[in-house]
Structure 1
Amino acid sequence: MDRHTQPVHFLLVEDDEDHADLIARAMRDNRLFNKITLVTDGQAAIDFLHHKPPYEEAERPDIILLDIQLPILSGHEVLEAIKSDPDTATIPVVILSTSDNETDRQQAYKSGANSYLVKPLDFQSFHHLVKHLNLYWGILNQPPR
């Protein structure tokens, strides 16, 4: 089945419920019916990717949207784990963070992030960012099969 005829599976690693809701709502509002799976801490993201309980039946995501500031394991630790594992290294990881800190950006790119986006503070800008994020990573980008 062609990628453009099926939903793209986003794994959203986000501990802020409001931000997670905004992302899901922006995708729905733009008639983008991709699948979004939410996990709320860094360890849950690793468990999801490695099919550990309670994620034994988890589908491999097409894209990972990763916050930096997470409980248990930080986004930086999760990113390093993803990119150092041959089974997950090819999954694109987009950092989606409130941090505009240059050190965070440098560390993320050194660890293999595919993109680093700063979450806008107002709803309209956030909505616009998610729309374009989904367009690029969900439709235009051509990942390895």
Structure 2
Amino acid sequence: MRSTPRKPGDPVTRVDVVDVLLVEDDDGDALMIEEIFEEHRIPNRLHRVHNGVEAMEFLRRDGGHRDAPRPALVLLDLNMPRMNGHEVLDAVKRDGDLKRIPVVVFTTSNADEDVTRCYHSMANAYVAKPADYDGFGATVHTIDRFFCSVAQRPA
């Protein structure tokens, strides 16, 4: 937590390391995000789950995730098996203990109905995955920087 509020114009500095939950079934995209965290020296701890059911277990500390940390950010793919991203987003934002966690939908879909549905379900942001590696890296870094360094989080 920040000891003093940041004033407009003050440089952004990271004060703490936070946990980020990546909900991603695509191994290639997950590997890219892990590499981007390393390349950009993002110090946050990245935790990955492969589907929506596992995401809810992690967030609720059920099953094999009893010792899971409470993430400061969730990066959520939409198209997943078992429980899709829309269902995860709805469940998180209806849960009194979880709804304050920022959820960024990070997906390949550019469909207007997906964007509208996610914002209707209280997504904190909707970001389409760039097709090229450099754009992908810059986007992941920007999301992390904003939600984990710039934006203030509740205690």
Specify the alignment match of 1:109 in structure 2. 119
The alignment partner of 2:46 has SS state of: strand
For residue 80 of structure 1, what is the aligned residue in structure 2? 90
CA distance in 1, matches of 2:121, 2:106: 15
Q: Is the 8 A contact 1:10 1:62 kept in 2?
A: yes
Q: Who is 2:20 aligned against?
A: 10
- 1:44 is aligned to 2:51: no
Kindly state the Cα deviation for residue 99 of structure 1 after the two structures are TM-superposed. 0.2
- The ranges of structure 1 where at least 4 consecutive aligned residues each deviate by more than 6 angstroms after the TM superposition are none
Structure 1 residue 124: deviation in Å? 1.0
Q: Which has the larger radius of gyration?
A: 2
Percentage of matched positions with identical amino acids: 36
Q: Give the whole-Å Cα distance in 2 for the aligned partners of 1:32 and 1:73.
A: 29
TM-score w.r.t. the length of structure 1 is 0.96
Query: Which of the numbers 36, 39, 44 marks the counterpart of 1:29?
Result: 39
Secondary structure of 2:74 counterpart = strand
Deviations 1:41-61 (CA, angstroms, capped at 9, x unpaired): 000001111111100111100
Q: Tell me the distance in 2 between the aligned counterparts of 1:31 and 1:51.
A: 28
- SS state of the match for residue 67, structure 2? coil
SS at match of 2:126: strand
Question: How far off its partner does 1:5 sit?
Answer: 3.0
Report how many aligned residue pairs link the two structures.
Answer: 145
Which residue of 73, 80, 91 maps to 2:101? 91
Q: Distance in 2 between matches of 1:101 and 1:8?
A: 31
SS in 2 for 1:54: helix
The one-letter code of the counterpart of 2:105 is I
Q: Distance in 2 between matches of 1:60 and 1:32?
A: 18
Partner in structure 2 of residue 20 of structure 1 = 30
Aligned-partner SS, 2:65: coil
Q: Distance in 2 between matches of 1:17 and 1:109?
A: 26
Match of 2:24, as an amino acid? Answer: E
Which runs of 5 or more structure 2 residues have no equivalent in the other structure? 4-13
Q: Distance in 2 between matches of 1:2 and 1:134?
A: 17
Describe the SS at the equivalent of 1:37.
strand
Q: Say if 2:145 is the partner of 1:135.
A: yes
Root-mean-square deviation (CA), in Å? 1.2
Aligned-partner Cα distance in 2 for 1:26–1:62: 18
> Out of 69, 76, 100, which is 1:59 matched to?
69
Which residue in the other structure is 2:136 paired with? 126
- Deviations 1:106-131, CA, capped at 9 Å, x for gaps: 00000010000000111111011111
